[in-house]
Amino acid sequence: KQEVTQIPAALSVPEGENLVLNCSFTDSAIYNLQWFRQDPGKGLTSLLLIQSSQREQTSGRLNASLDKSSGRSTLYIAASQPGDSATYLCAVRQGAQKLVFGQGTRLTINP
């Protein structure tokens, strides 16, 4: 059974710092890995999707890496801003429709 773990559970950093969020998964047989953002009381917004054949994806200040063989992914956020405060969720896709999620990292950027 696939298990997805995100560390740390919560992170608080000053504005302007670069930071890394971690995600690990137990079964490397995945189609892809997605990073989502969830604001309080809201649904999920997809940030980056890395296909199983890819090593990384970039979007603006965000960079996500994938090491499928070791079951790890990182989300790098450069020059963090208060607007980046949210919960970040990692999910791996198994089968055509099944997403398995981690519990998330709650990120707070302090002005």
Partner 1 sequence: ETGVTQTPRHLVMGMTNKKSLKCEQHLGHNAMYWYKQSAKKPLELMFVYSLEERVENNSVPSRFSPECPNSSHLFLHLHTLQPEDSALYLCASSQDLRGGNQPQHFGDGTRLSIL
Q: Which residue ranges make up the site for partner 1 (CB under 8 A)? A: 4, 31-32, 34, 36, 41-46, 49, 51-52, 89, 91, 93, 95-104
**Nearest C-alpha neighbor of 33 from the set 22, 49, 19, 17:** 49
Identity of the residue, 76 or 101, whose beta carbon is nearer to partner 1 in the bound complex? 101
Identity of the residue, 11 or 99, whose beta carbon is nearer to partner 1 in the bound complex? 99
Task: Give the Cα-Cα-Cα angle 24, 27, 31 (nearest 5 degrees).
Answer: 95
Q: In whole angstroms, how close is the CB of 89 to partner 1 at the nearest point?
A: 7
Q: In whole angstroms, how close is the CB of 110 to partner 1 at the nearest point?
A: 24
In sequence order, the 6+-apart residues with CB closer than 8 A to the CB of 25 are 2, 3, 4, 5, 33, 71, 72, 73, 92, 100
Q: In whole angstroms, how close is the CB of 3 to partner 1 at the nearest point?
A: 9
Q: In whole angstroms, how close is the CB of 58 to partner 1 at the nearest point?
A: 16
Identity of the residue, 29 or 79, whose beta carbon is nearer to partner 1 in the bound complex? 29
